[in-house]
Structure 1
């Protein structure tokens, strides 16, 4: 009995070591990282979408009352929320905590990358591919042309940074703005289940205003300041990469300002309506 247990443990240990070798030699081997990470991202999107459907159907009574299109939108927003949490955490790690882009290291910051940073970007590319596919499939129910433009620009920029290894620092800085996605999705959830007039809906709107201001307005201002400060390094990138670092964030920043103005108008309107009313 004891001998059998030891043999079982040894066998498990052997499989574990083989798995580590497989991951080290293939999954995180430089030539395979972009492809395995993109496929992994698409697979993860499918898994999260299905889990969102299963969990929502089991725990939320209002989910069963939604029509088919609303359920697809509900599941898709669950998927985008999970991606946003993941990529925001990893982006904050690489930009502020990791030594990869630290000033203590020598070398041009626009050409720094690592297997992990490349793999994480591949996961995000997989998400953009999967989400764009759903947007086109259900167009325009899951988002209009502005979402197509936003996802296309973001996906191309992230993919180039992943494949080339250029500008990953700036790519992660822009991806921090995904922190606003969970709050935007929560706004839709509250509206869909009939809580648009609740205190939670108003509070969520205030959170959206604050986080959007920080992550999509002030952060982009700092982004352009950093680009200006290290422009001598940016001009050493390939022309396409240099354009992606300058033009794509500029387009996204313009869209962010337009949406921010809409957020301000919507929040002002909601606060005005809330005066003298009792929330449910």
Structure 2
């Protein structure tokens, strides 16, 4: 890994930590006065989700820019010029490390084994992108999934502020969350895997070596399994609300309905 990428990883780790501990509390008090009335555990998760939303917007929009305008990456998805992608991936790796530390420090209230597996699988795969500059197109494609994160976090914000599930804003956000989550994480699977299969047996694929090949394929399978599980929970909850079976009572989702998980649904990085 080059010095630039290490600096970006470290800088983003520190930046997200400052956003969590300094910026989020002050900004949240201005935007939502009810923030100060939340219990300590909810305050921690609130700040964590705000950081998650900021990261998702930065990385997700950067991904779209690369997808639309970086001709070198799109022309050679395995060995194209990885500079912009490595920068984006380094930001994400810094975020993932920050979030793993946060989860470890607050495991009793925020810990979730799904997300630990998600983070480790992503770091394992992105490590090859940062150290060898390989698979830039595919790494960038996976990060587009972050565009669903703000809707997932907004769902939680509404719930902790005790908005009824039948509230218009809650319903609209929930539908948007289900649609966007499906679009950027599920609907893209066929085209993504088609692009993967096309590379099999090519000289570019062989140059990767067994280690990078295994990291690439296994991490993608693991992440897509997790995305499918979360999509099922979101779709089930969305169906309940739209058909009037979700009720008006606000409570923590014991079954994960209408959210990506029941605790720490940051909907982190693919």
Question: What does residue 202 of structure 1 align with?
Answer: 171
Aligned mate of 1:148, from 116, 119, 143: 116
Pairwise mapping of residues 63-74 of structure 1 onto structure 2 (< 5 A)? 63-74=35-46
**Post-superposition CA distance 1:196-239 (Å, at most 9, x none):** 32111111111111111111111122110100112223233122
- Output aligned runs, 1:190-229, within 5 Å: 190-197=158-165, 198-229=167-198
Runs (4+) of structure 1 exceeding 4 A deviation are: 274-277
In 2, Cα distance between the equivalents of 1:196 and 1:247? Answer: 40
Q: Which moved more, 1:70-79 or 1:88-97?
A: 88-97
Query: What's the Cα RMSD here?
Result: 1.9
| Aligned residue among 19, 29, 34 for 1:48 | 19
Q: Deviations over 1:113-170 (max 9, x none)?
A: 3433322211111000001110111114224100111111112212221111011211
1:91 aligns with 2:57: no
Aligned residues: 244
Q: Deviations over 1:35-70 (max 9, x none)?
A: 111111112202321211111123311101101110
**1:175-194 to 2 correspondence within 5 Å?**
175-194=143-162
C-alpha contact (below 8 Å) 1:167/1:241 kept by paired residues: no
Greater Cα radius of gyration, structure 1 or 2: 1
**How has the CA–CA distance of structure 1 residues 48 and 131 changed in structure 2, closer, same or farther, with 3 Å as cutoff?**
same
2:95 to 120, 127, 130: 127
Q: Which residue of 2 aligns with 1:248?
A: 219
Match of 2:207 among 227, 233, 236: 236
d(CA) in 2 for partners of 1:236, 1:65: 56
Partner of 1:4: none
Which of 117, 130, 133 pairs up with 1:162?
130
User: Match for residue 113 of structure 1?
Assistant: 81
**Which runs of no fewer than 5 residues in structure 1 stay unpaired?**
1-29
1:98 positional shift: 1.4
Q: Select the residue among 50, 64, 69 that pairs with 1:78.
A: 50
Is 2:242 aligned against 1:271?
A: yes
Decide whether aligned partners of structure 1 residues 52 and 152 sit closer, same or farther in structure 2, where only a CA change above 3 A counts.
same
Task: Return the TM-score normalized by structure 1.
Answer: 0.82
SS at 1:185's partner residue? helix
**Other-structure match for 2:74:** 102
Q: 3-state SS of the aligned residue for 2:154?
A: helix
Q: Select the structure with the greater relative contact order (CA < 8 A; seq sep ≥ 6).
A: 2
8 A contact 1:88–1:177 mirrored in 2: yes
Q: Deviations over 1:215-269 (max 9, x none)?
A: 1111122110100112223233122211122111111111111111111110111
Unaligned segments of structure 2, at least 5 residues: 249-270
Q: Deviations over 1:181-208 (max 9, x none)?
A: 1000000000000113211111111111
TM-score normalized by the length of structure 2 = 0.85
